[in-house]
Amino acid sequence: MLVTIPDLLTKEQVSEAKTLLEAAEWIDGRATAGYQAAKTKDNQQIPEGHPATKQVGETILRALGQNPLFMSAALPLRIYPPMFNRYSGGQNFGTHVDGAIRQFPGSPVRIRTDLSATLFFEEPENYDGGELCVEDTYGVHRVKLPAGSLVLYPSTSLHHVTPVTRGTRLCSFFWLQSMIRDDGQRSLLFDLDLGIQRLGGELSGNEAAEKIAVQFTGVYHNLLRQWAEM
């Protein structure tokens, strides 16, 4: 399941973040790539632990925690500290799969990467190329979102970033471990949650129908109780 979270950050937050990120030190992105990915990765990153990374990362984590669509779609258990990359002058990232396990920098904490996230910081018209292409059994999904919007996709997917031939693509990327490991189960819960919310909006004043909505909410929580890993 591929989910878009529109306007995770406001335009002001995006602009403040860009100022901080553009002034930071940038290094070869291969520094954090595994053996396979290093052969196809060509971009720049800010080193992990850099003050700009921490500051903007905290803004992102706060926004995620307050975003009902993200919480419902991801059911996050642990979120890896956001990292940042940029592509320009034809840079790209060939087809790869993200590593299954990541260790938090400077900590013994590890996560299983269930979901990968890309948050866009540049408006799409300001650069050519730089599409995130995610492969699943329904084909290839091409994603290039407005500044401040985020895409979530299963970390199990093969994916690549097309060459940036004009301008600069600036993004944050990170992974998370979900309370629900299986993408199919997580999608079912997300659909059920969206349905219950829509039902809630239609029902006000109809007592019998409101009772049915409570019953479906019970089913949602009982499925979550069966499937959640903490």
Alpha carbon of residue 25 to chain centroid: 23
Contacts of residue 32, Cβ cutoff 8 Å, sequence gap at least 6:
45, 48, 83
Judged by beta carbon, residue 98 or residue 131, the one nearer Ni ion is: 98
Task: Determine the Cα–Cα distance for residues 79 and 110; give it in Å rounded to an integer.
Answer: 10
H or E stretch at 64 = helix 51-65
What Å distances lie between residue 50 and 25, 26, 88, 195, CA to CA? Answer: 8, 10, 21, 42
Rounded to a whole number of angstroms, the minimum distance from the CB of residue 50 to Ni ion is 20
The two structure tokens encoding residue 198 = 């829509």
Residues contacting Ni ion: total by CB under 5 A: 1
Judged by beta carbon, residue 73 or residue 115, the one nearer Ni ion is: 115
Judged by beta carbon, residue 60 or residue 189, the one nearer Ni ion is: 60
Judged by beta carbon, residue 98 or residue 122, the one nearer Ni ion is: 98
Rounded to a whole number of angstroms, the minimum distance from the CB of residue 212 to Ni ion is 42
Nearest-CB residue to Ni ion?
Answer: 98
DSSP labels for 13-53?
Answer: HHHHHHHHHHTS--EEGGGG--HHHHTTB--EEPPTT-HHH
Judged by beta carbon, residue 40 or residue 165, the one nearer Ni ion is: 40
Judged by beta carbon, residue 79 or residue 189, the one nearer Ni ion is: 79
42: contact with Ni ion by CB under 5 A: no
Rounded to a whole number of angstroms, the minimum distance from the CB of residue 139 to Ni ion is 18
Interaction pattern, residues 84-123, with Ni ion; x per rule: CB under 5 A: --------------x-------------------------
Rounded to a whole number of angstroms, the minimum distance from the CB of residue 132 to Ni ion is 9
Rounded to a whole number of angstroms, the minimum distance from the CB of residue 16 to Ni ion is 26
- Residue 117 φ/ψ, nearest 5 degrees: -130, 140
Query: How many residues in the chain?
Result: 230
For CA atoms 88, 90, 93, 95, give the dihedral sign: positive
Rounded to a whole number of angstroms, the minimum distance from the CB of residue 25 to Ni ion is 22
Q: For 131, which DSSP code?
A: -
Q: Which amino acid is at 46?
A: I
The footprint of Ni ion (CB under 5 A) covers 98
